[in-house]
Amino acid sequence: MSQEYNEYRSLLKKGSFIEASRFAERQHLKSDINNPFWLTRQAAALTREKKFKHALEIAKQALSYNPSNPYSILAVAEAMQGLNRHEEAIRYFEEITENPKLSFYGRKGVFNSLLVLKKWDRILNLLTMWEMPADTVYRWKVKALEGKKCFDEALEVCHQWLKADPDNRSGLWSLIGLEIRQDGLEQVLSRMGKIAKIKSRPPIYKEIYASLCKKAGKHELALKQYDKISVSGSNTWNIRQRAFALAKSGKEAQAVGLMEELLKTDPTDYFIHKSYKAACGRLNQHDRVLKFYENLLELHPEEKTLFGRIRKVKKELGIKE
């Protein structure tokens, strides 16, 4: 990989999509302008920034240089999908479903658009035609059967999935959703509570139980579960859920401290930002938000969205810039 491409990838990983698109545009102008490579990268960055219309214009320009380039085809398909032009997107995605390097993205794109269009039978048909990992087949088969309201069949597929791969995270979440529909939240909550107490079970069962507690409005119980998970080795998702549970249970002072630590790690987390401002508002600590965002910008000067957040908080506080 070239140094320029590594720099582009680094910008994407940081979530600096506009900067990545501008970087790709500059590289295109510096290199062979008839080569679609950097135009395709520019379109991909714009799509990630949700600038779908502009992304489609750039992707089509790239495709005009080489109509058979699979990466340009993918860029057009993704931009169209973002614009909710799903029938057209599918036609482009289908062109790369057999490409050795891009078949995964092509097939995933087809399935995601068919999901929006609710074409469940077509999804089920393609699952029998394409050779894919078992986990992928199970995942989409359950979605399609749920879409068709064939809930008993979807449950049976979940059981097959978990028999083949016990404790599979996605399989368990799918099963829980179907069981709640069938038996009700309280019954599933009771069942999962017993399973979560078994020490030999992986943390996923405690995660699910904590999430169900929160869903049932039992925030204190949810917090206890998240605390147990953190003792046994947590991940960011669990920490986020614990922060939300703290805020819901009226422990805003603890919640905002945890949210600040999360935002230091990921200043792009929209949901944490939203909950953080709301929790500080309930504590009547609006000044704290401004001070924290200014400090956060010093930690992450590349995160341009913080400028907008700071301006908005200043406006709310009546501070003139």
pLDDT tens figures, 169-188? 999 999 999 999 999 999 99
Return the percent helix, strand and coil in the chain, to nearest 5: 75, 0, 25
Please give the average per-residue pLDDT across 252-270, as a whole number: 87
**What is the rounded distance in angstroms from the CA atom of residue 190 to the CA atom of residue 17?**
44
Residue 168: CB atoms within 10 A of its CB come to: 18
For the whole prediction, is pTM greater than 0.85? no
pLDDT at 237: 76
Query: pLDDT tens digits, residue range 14-60?
Result: 778 888 999 999 999 988 888 899 999 999 999 998 999 999 999 99
Residue 253: the pLDDT is 86
Domain 121-183 fold is 1.25.40
Say what the pLDDT of residue 223 is: 82
**235 to each of 186, 251, 264, how far by Cα in Å?**
27, 21, 15
Helix, strand or coil for residue 148? coil
Q: What angle do helix axes 169-183 and 134-147 make, rounded to 10 degrees?
A: 20
The DSSP call for residue 133 is -
pLDDT digits (tens, 9 = 90+) for 191-230: 999 998 888 888 889 889 988 998 898 888 888 887 777 6
Over residues 6-16, mean pLDDT: 85
Give the model's pLDDT for residue 65. 94
Return the CATH architecture of domain 1-117.
Answer: Alpha Horseshoe (1.25)
The whole-number pLDDT of residue 200 equals 85
Q: Identify the CA nearest to 310 among candidates 278, 273, 281.
A: 273
Phi, psi at residue 268, to the nearest 5°? -100, 0
- Per-residue pLDDT band for 66 (boundaries 50, 70, 90) equals very high
Residues contacting 205, CB < 8 A, separation 6+: 172, 192, 195, 196, 198
pLDDT tens digits along 87-140:
999 999 999 999 999 999 999 999 999 999 999 999 999 999 999 999 999 999
Q: What is the pLDDT of residue 230?
A: 62
Q: What are phi and psi of 131, to 5 degrees?
A: -85, 115
Give yes or no for residue 317 having a pLDDT over 90: no
When pLDDT is cut at 50, 70 and 90, the band that residue 268 belongs to is: confident
Q: Is the pLDDT of residue 234 over 80?
A: no
Roughly how many angstroms between the first and final C-alpha of the chain, as a whole number?
Answer: 44
Which pair of structure tokens corresponds to residue 80? 């169209």
- From CA 160, how far away is CA 19, in angstroms rounded? 45
Question: Residue 321's pLDDT band (boundaries 50, 70, 90)?
Answer: low
Residue 308 has pLDDT above 90, yes or no: no
Average the pLDDT over 152-158 and give the result: 97
pLDDT at residue 114, as a whole number: 97
> What topology is assigned to 251-321 in CATH?
1.25.40
CA distance 113 to 106: 11
CATH 1.25.40.10: which residues of the chain? 1-117
Q: Is 303 exposed, middle or buried (0-12, 13-18, 19+ CB in 10 A)?
A: middle
The most distant pair of C-alpha atoms in the chain lies apart, rounded to whole Å, by 64
